[in-house]
Amino acid sequence: MPTPRSASSRPPRRRVDLNVDLGELEVEPVALYALATVVNLACGGHAGDASSMARAVDLALEAGVAIAAHPSYADRDGFGRRSGHSTGDAVRRDVEAQCAALDAIVEARGGRIVAVKPHGALYHDAADDLRLASMVVEAAHAALGPSFAVVGPAWGVLGEAASFDRLAYHREGFADRGYDAQGRLLPRGAPGALLTDPAAAAAQAIRLAESGQVETICVHGDTPCAVAVARAVRAALEEAEWLRPRA
């Protein structure tokens, strides 16, 4: 994971968002919407349909939280976590359709989508493949217009693809996931890949914020004890004055 910089080399403090992946489960804790500053909503690829998207958007707007689209490979059976599940034009078509479906629901309620964060395998594949990253960004652009941020890892080429379209890129760290020595996420299922202890997740969130290498920190909505983890992470970030206030 990113490492803290020395006090002399640290840039002026830039506060971070707390983002939570939601709209993925039939039953999910409503409390997570109030704990986040941004919610990433599944929009039909790995999870979600018109009904679940409408419910999630309503909860987000009621909580006063920003909304991001969370598109993925069209892979419900694998929950969007199978690498290379789709290629070429299928990725572009699927991402555009997913973002457009969520955008229609958000717009109908007077809101707007502020960011796009690929899900699962698409997140990692796009970070490693500039052509795929460009397809994802272009597809989101076609669905959402010119004004949104792209969320992705601090490593890889997804940020480069965002810059091609003059879009802001928000580097992401994970409070509830383990990192390897190269700063990449440990594969799910590997020892230490998932942090479910709230105190450990909160401590990791502070380290990530202090590193100066991320603009947003994630807690997964399907992590066991997600509410306790998100509550501890939010409290730690607020106490240390790292959390960005809601707009």
**What band does 1 get if pLDDT is binned at 50, 70 and 90?**
low
Range of the domain at 209: 17-239
Q: Is the pLDDT of residue 28 over 50?
A: yes
SS3 20: strand
Partnered with residue 173 across adjacent β-strands are 217
Of 184, 195, 203, the C-alpha closest to 226 is 195
Element (H, E) at 159: helix 158-164
**Tokens standing for residue 58:** 């309503």
183 occurs within a structural domain: yes
Please give the pLDDT value at position 88: 77
73 occurs within a structural domain: yes
Read off the DSSP letter of residue 25: S
Q: Is the pLDDT of residue 10 over 70?
A: no
10 occurs within a structural domain: no
8 occurs within a structural domain: no
**What band does 8 get if pLDDT is binned at 50, 70 and 90?**
very low
Measured in whole angstroms, how far is the alpha carbon of residue 32 from the centre of its chain? 14
5 occurs within a structural domain: no
pLDDT in tens, 38-77: 999 999 999 999 999 999 999 999 999 999 999 999 999 9
228 occurs within a structural domain: yes
Number of domains forming the structure of the chain: 1
Mean predicted confidence (pLDDT) in 151-175: 96
Q: Is the pLDDT of residue 229 over 60?
A: yes
Q: Is the pLDDT of residue 110 over 70?
A: yes
Q: Is the pLDDT of residue 21 over 50?
A: yes
Rounded alpha-carbon distances, angstroms, from residue 107 to 19, 42, 99, 104, 247: 21, 16, 12, 5, 18
CATH number at residue 182: 3.20.20.370
Element (H, E) at 170: strand 169-174
Q: Is the pLDDT of residue 243 over 50?
A: yes
Q: Is the pLDDT of residue 9 over 70?
A: no
Cα 78 to Cα 160: distance, rounded to the nearest angstrom: 28
Cα 148 to Cα 176: distance, rounded to the nearest angstrom: 26
> Average pLDDT of the chain?
93
12 occurs within a structural domain: no
The bridge status of strand 66-70 relative to strand 17-22 is: unpaired
7 occurs within a structural domain: no
Please give the pLDDT value at position 7: 44
